[in-house]
Structure 1
Amino acid sequence: MQTHPGIAYQFGPFEVNVASAELLKNGRRIRLQEQPYRLLVALLESPGEVISREELRSRLWPDDTFVDFDGSLRVAVGKLREALDDSADDPRYIETIPKRGYRFLVTEVRRVEAAPEVAEPAAAKPEAAKLGEDARRDYLGPLKTGARATRWWLVAGAAILMIGIGLAVGTRMFFPHKVHALTDKDTIVLADFANTTGDPVFDGTLRQGLSVQLEQSPFLSIIPDEKIQQTLGLMGQHVDAKLIPAIAREVCQRTTSAAVLDGSIAKIGTQYLLTLKAVNCKSGETLASTEAEASDENHVLNALGKVSVEIRNKLGESLNTIQKFDTPLEEATTPSLEALKAFSSGMQAVRTKGPEAAAPFFKHAVELDPNFAVAYAYLGVQATTSLEPGLSVNYRTKAYELRDRASEAEKYWITATYHKGVTGNIPKAIEACDLWIQDYPRSELPHVYLGAAILPVVGQYERAFEESSEGVRLRPDFALAYAFRIRAYTALNRFDEAKATYAQALERKLHTPYIDLEMYNLAFAQNDAAGMAQHATKLAALTRLGHTMLSTEGDTAAYSGHLKDARELTRRAMDSAQRGGEKDAPALYSGTSALREAWFGNTEEARRRATLAMKLSSGRDLQYFAALAFAYTKDNARAKALADDLNKKFPEDTIVQFNYLPSVRGKLALNKGDASGATASLAAAAPSELGATRASDLDWTAMFPVFVRGEAYLAARRGSEAAAEFQKILDHRGLVLNQPIGALAHLGLGRAYVLQGDTVKAKAAYQDFLTLWKDADQDIPVLQQAKAEYRKLQ
């Protein structure tokens, strides 16, 4: 088939209108980014036929485009499948042909003429130029102006240069007679402002303010401070060395950037003069320069905003994107120089000393300006890393309420973190990140946040790997992106690829404690005791992750039935966290150990630990652990009360509604002897049963609904269904890791085979469990039950 601007393709409930570049489902527009859309059109042109990877490469990316083709194609296919509600495991529309390409399975694709009012080029309509912003957003989604203009002019047939950057495609319009100093592939280095005023309030503050202003630009790409610190180390400089022009220019050359931005502020009488110039880091040639005056100190931030806008234009950014992405600095941050100074000091502390050291500066910033949205957002992140979920919720909520006082990029970030950490509405968090990616295709942050914190909650580990990989591609020096790609690979049981990612990080001399945490989990999944010990030793010496590692080691001990050791390690973890002044971490450790005791059959100990946990704190995840522990100890009233409270507090929370509550309600139904009611309750969890929340930096909730469902099938004497559930847990070793259900699934599988009358398989499953627990504490009730059941099979 040949495409034509006036045609549309129809299949099932979907329609693809080529003229308007739209995907519709039952008449409703489905958001679809550029590359997945072009992929869909390519497949629709030849339904039922295999489209080779080489042909797709030529269709989706121009010959001169530099892109990780394999990774980007996988991402495009994944996003297209998501838009079509399709699955790689059970495809209805898109079939992967290994090592060859892809095929569109629906052979009866209807090719029809598009409606005239849609098929007509938009640029030919006078009213198109007057189309309101809301209507354009409905049509195209909230893309950056350049991207909206691109699609508008594609319809009209105008000449546009498309630049592919991974999955999200950035665009800008080049005017024929204007020569630009930079392109949208260049990067720049921000030098420190030379301050000759003698007033220290400007030190670091103006550079921070300029950074906020320029990071609004989808065109410019600033070298991150972490990369600058790494480069300074290679230069033999201190990591927080002042970026005077000579040092900044060398950093620029070493990072293969195009230019340095040098700024200065001087006081002339009562006025201030700000100057800013872009210098070619190789030749030293001035590419652009601008200046602005401020009548007094209170107007310096306004002058800084003016020079940032002018330099963006002079460096080649279109007026369209400047006008859209130009929140005034006083609105994007704060009108208070002192508050911005405190915030700048906090960001410096994050880079050099860690989040805990930054908290006092951010708190001082919001004391000076109670409407400083981004400072609240950073406090919310800091509270999360210090295991204070209640405090994190308060800060994130405040940031969200004030999100209009932030730049466009920061609004997306604040919105995503709010829905992830407060409402728990994961689809809304994903939407915020997808829009962030559309507007800022050169930013690695939305990809990394998706892969690290959002997609795992709903068990989308394939896409989590793709997004983390895109983060690595966009910023190869970002250690956290490697950590989360290792995590995604491990969850997918792709252990060799996880190791290869670790090797890449080592080769680049990148490190973060989270890499060690993920490598500990990978070593556990591969029964690598030496590797576990190596990474545990590195983490044990750290302030917060030290007690996290103690708790993790406790889980590992319990996995093999060493319950006394596990209790001691948990006690030490709680003591360590309490000595550090933390409230929520000890509660989480008590809550997870309560559930462990309940599964092992120690009813009274489980109730004691769950009760203690609820006295220490009352966070969402902790409340779930306690509720499930009470349900397993048949303290039905307390379990139901906690579950009802969760339902009331978190009505739109994805993991609460589709993972936590089905598990608790399913177990409560089992306690009443209602196996069919239990399976009915657990049906809601099926789409996200692989989801995991990072309570205490552990994926402690992954597959709990599967375990309870397996027990429900056992109670209903449906052996084959029960076996399938427990086998599912065993097949996801890289996801379940050292959770107790990973060990107990062997026992559940043996019991399921007994119901089927398959003695041989039942014996093998029991032997697997008893071998794993060969050195276990002998007084554990579940072990005694397992031995008694196994003896009956002899």
Structure 2
Amino acid sequence: MPLIRFGEFEFNEQTLELRRSGAPVRVQQQPARVLAFLLNHQGKLVTRQQIQQAIWGQDTFVDFEQNLNFCIRQIRISLNDQAEKPVFIETLPRLGYRFLASAEKIGDGATKTVRNRIRIGILPIEDVGGSANDYFAIGLTEDMISALSRIDPARLRVTVGPRAPSGILPREELDRLQREFDLDYLLRGSVRRSAEAVRISAQLLDLRDKSVLWSEVYDLKSSDLLGVQEDVARRVSQSLVLELLPGGALGSRKYVHSSAAYDAYLKGRFFWHKMTTDTVRSSMAYFNEALTIDPEFAPAYAGLADCYAQMGSIRLGMLQPYAALEKARTYLHRAMELDYTMAEAHCTSGLIKIWYEFDWAGAEQAFQVALSLDPGHVTALLWQSLLLSVMGRNQEAIASVQRARDSEPLSPVVNMYLGVAQTHAGQYDLALRQLHQTLELDPHNYRTFMFLGRALSSINRQNDAIAAYEKSIALNPDGLEAIAMLGASMAASGDRSGALKTMERVVATESRTSPAVLVAIIYASLGDAQQMFDWLSKAVDQKSAPIYLPLITEDFRPYRSDPRFRLFLESIGLAHLAIR
């Protein structure tokens, strides 16, 4: 009997009967057919158009929109589900629906879990043409990860492995990769570019018996390279088909028109990830170059929105927040206008909502939409973890980073964010160990030293914290956050003169940005409550971002029961987090 079990429910695909704990639940035939379709695409975004084609057909003359809305309402009634807090059926505005709960198919006395996953590792694509084009190999690797992650996230887990030497990998190395990363398959490749052509080699290995499933070499003109990652991903899915990935499919990118624009965009993202004032300027130049080549290249608009959002924050401190917000909104609107199904745009929307708009529920929804469109979108998982920490949902925040780490276990940024989430959760021993391990992966990341300083400061190891902040500032002299945190640790260690002098450096940046929330942190450590609350009020008015720092920084803990702190929380829409 073809049954699908989820929670207390069992659904018969053949008879369209629904039972709860063995008792029949009334559901009409058309809603039941919609439920069957959602169950068979469990964990994946299903668009309204896909439902229309599957249930009503392309030539239907009924009022489809009204009928589908009716069906979803009836399903929710039958499952006792709520649209506002869904357990089973999630609505993704303007996109479609997703069945959230875990489900399993039952038949012939055996149970087969729908979430049965295979594990594929992707080694960073090697640039054999020299380091000058390394940005292309990095971008191609990221595109491959994204493409494979979209095949069937409920059944395929994609992990990024370490860089490997050229040539045939010895069996011992394959055994190590299989063991350490828990892999079934391994995809590796290389790229060589010239002005006129590109050669991409790809190879898929079955790590269970160390056999080569397929190997392919693509010799392409530069103008043909745009679709190669999708072609390779399609070959991988075909090689894994059998009972593992039946029906796996890839969505095509609507914005892939110009090879030159794509190349400029990859350069922009390469520099954006470095996140300093100079590299962000370079990033913007490349995004604008992409738009000069192709004015409808949607990812470049999303990239510019990302740049402006960061420029108005204390992370970069390059613009006044209101000016940055206006620019970011303009570019984000254009990106979504061109391609509403682009995960990057929804991810940026979530960041803007928590940094500038104080729309916490909207931000969470934006991150979820981004992840429904690209389940392996690492930036969305990391920024979502910050939001969850602010809300006090610390275990969920850690789980969000762990999900990113499953995909990129060797990424210094992902590992740094795990230490950050552990710090926010009060797991200081774990956080310190994690941040030190992250520095072993990349000893030149200024932000890791800054977050190490925050973790040390949280347990009152101020001298060690000061040393960590000084290393961060040495690596990035423009790092406004680290400078302010250094002042706070000086204040906490009793060096009032040093703290005030450092605060002068922070306040001096008011001509170009709003450091108000950072000034408030220093006054909090100095014990000057009135000045601290005055600067917090100023931070709200100026949209000094991120405004949520007082909720995740230990310096403010002594003031959280103060009625003025509740007023601050009310002003940013978080009154429910106030201590009563």
- Contact 1:264 / 1:275 at 8 angstroms: preserved in 2? yes
User: 1:122-271 maps to which residues of 2 (within 5 A)?
Assistant: 129-130=54-55, 135=68, 140-141=89-90, 154=105, 162=113, 184-192=118-126, 205=136, 208=139, 211-212=142-143, 215-218=146-149, 219=151, 231=163, 246=167, 258-262=186-190
Residue in structure 1 matching 2:512, options 577, 583, 599: 583
Q: Give 5+ residue unaligned stretches, structure 2.
A: 14-18, 39-50, 58-63, 76-88, 179-184, 568-576
Call closer, same or farther: CA 1:208–1:489 in 2, change over 3 Å: closer
Q: Which letter maps to 2:148?
A: S
Corresponding residue for residue 693 of structure 1: 548
Q: Which letter maps to 1:337?
A: S
| Between structures 1 and 2, the one with greater helix share | 1
How many residues matched?
496
Residue by residue, what CA displacement relative to the aligned partner does 1:165-187 show, whole Å, maximum 9, x if unpaired?
xxxx576xxxxxxxxxxxx4011
Q: Aligned partners of 1:123, 1:401: CA distance in 2, in Å?
A: 36
Identity %: 11
User: 1:4-153 maps to which residues of 2 (within 5 A)?
Assistant: 17-19=9-11, 113-117=24-28, 129-130=54-55, 135=68, 140-141=89-90
3-state DSSP class of the match of 1:289? strand
Residue by residue, what CA displacement relative to the aligned partner does 1:255-310 show, whole Å, maximum 9, x if unpaired?
55712134567899xxx78765425498794614375876xx6x525554763464
RMSD: 5.7
Q: Aligned partners of 2:132, 2:438: CA distance in 1, in Å?
A: 38
1:457 aligns with 2:390: yes
1:335 aligns with 2:266: no
Q: 1:114 deviation in Å?
A: 0.9
Call closer, same or farther: CA 1:311–1:540 in 2, change over 3 Å: same
Residue in structure 2 matching 1:307, options 216, 224, 231: 231
Call closer, same or farther: CA 1:322–1:251 in 2, change over 3 Å: farther
Q: Which letter maps to 1:379?
A: C
Q: Report the TM-score when normalising by structure 2.
A: 0.64
The farther-off stretch of 399-408 and 139-148 is: 139-148
Call closer, same or farther: CA 1:422–1:457 in 2, change over 3 Å: same
Corresponding residue for residue 626 of structure 1: 538
Q: 1:249 deviation in Å?
A: 10
Corresponding residue for residue 78 of structure 2: none
Q: 1:345 deviation in Å?
A: 2.5
Q: Aligned partners of 1:170, 1:433: CA distance in 2, in Å?
A: 25
Corresponding residue for residue 367 of structure 2: 433
Call closer, same or farther: CA 1:459–1:20 in 2, change over 3 Å: farther
Q: Report the TM-score when normalising by structure 1.
A: 0.49
Q: 1:151 deviation in Å?
A: 8.1
Residue in structure 1 matching 2:325, options 389, 393, 398: 393
Residue by residue, what CA displacement relative to the aligned partner does 1:105-138 show, whole Å, maximum 9, x if unpaired?
xxxxxx8531143796765999994258984995
Call closer, same or farther: CA 1:586–1:250 in 2, change over 3 Å: farther
Q: Which letter maps to 1:189?
A: L
1:417 aligns with 2:351: yes
Q: 1:693 deviation in Å?
A: 1.5
- Contact 1:6 / 1:113 at 8 angstroms: preserved in 2? no
1:540 aligns with 2:540: no
Corresponding residue for residue 521 of structure 1: 454
- Contact 2:122 / 2:159 at 8 angstroms: preserved in 1? yes
- Contact 1:433 / 1:446 at 8 angstroms: preserved in 2? yes
Q: 1:583 deviation in Å?
A: 1.8
3-state DSSP class of the match of 1:187? strand
3-state DSSP class of the match of 1:141? strand
Q: 1:386 deviation in Å?
A: 0.7
- Contact 1:479 / 1:511 at 8 angstroms: preserved in 2? no
Structure showing greater Rg: 1
Q: Aligned partners of 1:539, 1:345: CA distance in 2, in Å?
A: 25
1:322 aligns with 2:254: no
Residue by residue, what CA displacement relative to the aligned partner does 1:423-479 show, whole Å, maximum 9, x if unpaired?
33222222233344456555554332222x312333333432333344445433233
3-state DSSP class of the match of 1:626? helix
User: 1:741-780 maps to which residues of 2 (within 5 A)?
Assistant: none
3-state DSSP class of the match of 1:463? helix
Q: Which letter maps to 1:327?
A: R
Call closer, same or farther: CA 1:292–1:543 in 2, change over 3 Å: closer
1:364 aligns with 2:286: yes
Residue in structure 2 matching 1:278, options 200, 203, 221: 203
Call closer, same or farther: CA 1:345–1:490 in 2, change over 3 Å: closer
Q: Aligned partners of 1:482, 1:131: CA distance in 2, in Å?
A: 47
Q: Which letter maps to 1:626?
A: K
Residue by residue, what CA displacement relative to the aligned partner does 1:697-738 show, whole Å, maximum 9, x if unpaired?
9677778664126899xxxxxxxxxxxx99x69xxxxxxxxx
- Contact 2:187 / 2:203 at 8 angstroms: preserved in 1? yes
Q: Give 5+ residue unaligned stretches, structure 1.
A: 10-15, 22-40, 46-110, 164-168, 172-183, 236-244, 611-621, 629-641, 657-690, 713-724, 730-794
Corresponding residue for residue 505 of structure 2: 572
Q: Which letter maps to 1:520?
A: G
- Contact 1:204 / 1:345 at 8 angstroms: preserved in 2? yes
- Contact 2:354 / 2:387 at 8 angstroms: preserved in 1? yes
Residue by residue, what CA displacement relative to the aligned partner does 1:209-254 show, whole Å, maximum 9, x if unpaired?
5743651332477665xx65xx47xx7xxxxxxxxx5499999957
Q: Which letter maps to 2:123?
A: V
